[in-house]
Chains A and B, each alone.
Chain A
Amino acid sequence: MANKKMAIIATKGTLDMAYPPFILASTAAALGYDVQVFFTFYGLQLLRKDLSNVMISPLANPAMPMPIPMPVMVQMLPGMESMATMMMKQKLKKHGVASLTELRDLCLEADVKFIACQMTVDLFEFDKSEFIDNVEYGGAATFMGFAGDTDICLFV
């Protein structure tokens, strides 16, 4: 029997929204799925060799649990984003959640295929040398070629 297939479109480049594509992709691969992830717009940030600049912001994110209530006026102060990111990373580590780099490596090890949207790479004038090596470049039609035949297809 042919393997099941899953396709994910990853469009977000923040720390919180970076987790779902990598968690789902690595899990599906472990379950025997063929997996492709199409990174477009801000999702391209997740293909950078160095993921340390992937951040989370409490601003415009009222669902983010904070240790103390924090007015928007305070959230916009310089350094708040770095602080929120540091706190989130500490929390993830404390709970034994893998780092983004670790999850991404697990995906690659399990033959998850990463496709970067060529149009947005050009649009944002990204330098491909900043991205990891195991990336293919293509457009929407490339993605449809795989996505059209999948059992699960997600937009994140």
Chain B
Amino acid sequence: MNFDKELNARGLSCPLPIVKTKKALADMTSNQVLKVISTDTGSVKDMAAFAEQTGNPLLSTVEENGEFIFYMKKK
């Protein structure tokens, strides 16, 4: 999937992946896609909850070699 910005949240625990995602989105423009890589298993549910509550669509969530990769579109 194409993306405009990547956030490396490897090794970070709650709530850092969410807080850093929010900060990364702040510098982006509408419809741009943010790729987030996390190793925090809790971030799977948290990213979905973040997307739902903020209205930024979560385009996909994939697990690859113990890492979680999220693609989020800025609303």
Contact = CB atoms under 8 A, between A and B. Distances in A.
A30 B11 contact: no
A23 B40 contact: no
Interface in B16-70: 16, 18-19, 21-23, 39-40, 50, 53-54
Contact of A96 (B16, B53, B54): B16
A15 to B, nearest CB: 16
A126 B54 CA distance: 39
Q: Determine chain B's interface SS by DSSP, over half rule.
A: helix
A72 B23 CA distance: 45
Given A30-B50, A31-B50, A97 B13 contact: yes
Report the contact-size class of chain B (Cβ under 8 Å from the partner). 10 to 19
A109 B23 CA distance: 10
A27 B20 CA distance: 10
B30 to A, nearest CB: 16
A103 B15 CA distance: 9
A95 B13 contact: yes
B53 A31 contact: yes
Interface string A16-42: 000000010011011110000000000
B54 A31 contact: yes
Q: How large is the interface on A (under 10, 10 to 19, 20 to 34, 35 or more residues)?
A: 10 to 19
A54 interface: no
A96 B12 contact: yes
Contacts of B53: 31-32
B19 A26 contact: yes
Contacts of A98: 12-13, 16
A103 B16 CA distance: 9
The 8 closest A-B pairs by CB, nearest first: A30-B22, A27-B15, A96-B13, A96-B11, A97-B13, A96-B12, A30-B19, A31-B53
30 contacts: A23-B14, A23-B15, A26-B15, A26-B19, A27-B15, A27-B18, A27-B19, A29-B19, A30-B15, A30-B19, A30-B22, A31-B18, A31-B22, A31-B50, A31-B53, A32-B54, A95-B13, A96-B12, A96-B16, A96-B39, A97-B13, A97-B14, A98-B12, A98-B13, A98-B16, A103-B15, A106-B19, A109-B23, A110-B19, A110-B22
